[in-house]
Amino acid sequence: MTLDGQQPEAIAAAVDALAAGRLVGLPTETVYGLAADAGNDAAVRAIFAAKGRPADHPLIVHVASAEGVAAFAAEVPPFAQRLIDAFWPGPLTLILPRRPGVADAAAGGHPTIGLRCPSHPVAHALLSAAAARGIAGLAAPSANRFGRISPTTAAHVAAEFGADLLVLDGGACAVGIESTIIDCTRGAPVLLRPGQLPRARIEQVAGTRMLSKEEMSAPDPQAPGTLSAHYAPRAKLRLMNARELRTALELLGADAKNIAVWARTPLHSESRQLVLRRMPDDADAAAQQLFAVLRGFDEAQVKLIWVEAVPDDGAWDGVRDRLARAAASA
């Protein structure tokens, strides 16, 4: 059942569901989440079961405000506090040392916890109402089945999990790809997953260079957001440059079918069966559309998705990362 998240009755119904240990589809500014009371291990296990996600892959816990951190984190390094002050509420997740005994299931047994304070007004309303009922945080992975495309509308969530799930409709997500994840447990910030926050701004606020996963000697092998194949459409996705795309379309001519193309460069095909969509020139706009475009291509039942490789520029890091993973599954 999908309810309008702007209605107070919808928030009340969602808090009742959470308090009863049930799951709720939650809009955030990045993607929709599948939420449960982070303090209820049985409810959190239901998230893993619904997603088909291995139980040792940790979930992000969402809090209503920066004050919520103390309930879950044992310690906040000064650079992490500066990131919280600058970017929360917003599309930033911090990995922090976990307070022993809290959110065990959500943390997947790891000694750390991923925390984020989302800026979406419906998420904020639900988190505040839940906090008032003694629910300190909501564990919520993206509301998609394991390895598949993250949902950016309420309809996507309903399509993944069926009509039985209570989904709060908060419209189309404004950011469109998942939060930037920074590991703050290693003395210096380590980027685990790029999102739409620019690296330069993060480093300026943190007051230090951000390391990449590759620079760390012991990367955590369990983080699915860090698996090379993830975010996969059903069709095979290939990244090509503009020249390769143009040549391929010319060679196929009127025979091009079961193919979808997403490109910034204007392209032409003689085929009327080719699905051709323009990628925005702006990285934020492209991120906002990315997952909905890939879902749309799957719905059109194409066999191949050809995407123009994105510019080699920091603004495109998040989109480039998601596209590379989608291509790695092909």
Contact residues for ligand TXA (CB under 6 A)? 28, 30-31, 33, 57-60, 93, 95, 107, 110, 112-114, 116, 140-142, 178-179, 181, 192, 220, 223-226
Q: Is 98 annotated as a binding residue?
A: no
Q: Decide: is 153 part of the binding site for Mg ion (CB under 5 A).
A: no
Q: Which stretch binds Mg ion (CB under 5 A): 137-145, 163-171, 202-210, 252-260?
A: 137-145
The correct pick among 28, 93, 142, 269 for binding Mg ion (CB under 5 A) is: 142
Contact 144, 151 (CB under 8 A): yes
Q: Is 193 annotated as a binding residue?
A: yes
Q: Which residue has the tokens 């039942």?
A: 301
Q: Decide: is 179 part of the binding site for Mg ion (CB under 5 A).
A: no
Q: What angle do CA 176, 72, 42 make, to 5 degrees?
A: 80
Q: Decide: is 40 part of the binding site for Mg ion (CB under 5 A).
A: no
Which residues contact residue 254 at a Cβ distance below 8 angstroms, ignoring those fewer than 6 apart?
A: 270, 271
3-state secondary structure (DSSP) of residue 168: strand
Which residues contact residue 225 at a Cβ distance below 8 angstroms, ignoring those fewer than 6 apart?
A: 178, 181, 192, 193
Q: Which stretch binds Mg ion (CB under 5 A): 39-47, 136-144, 203-211, 246-254?
A: 136-144
Q: Cβ closer to Mg ion: 142 or 185?
A: 142
Alpha carbon distance 49, 109 (integer Å): 16
Q: Cβ closer to ligand TXA: 71 or 140?
A: 140
Q: Is 112 annotated as a binding residue?
A: yes
Phi, psi of 195 (to 5 degrees): -130, -145
Query: Could you tell which of ligand TXA, Mg ion, none binds residue 57, using a CB distance below 5 to 8 A set by kind?
Result: ligand TXA
Q: Is 212 annotated as a binding residue?
A: no
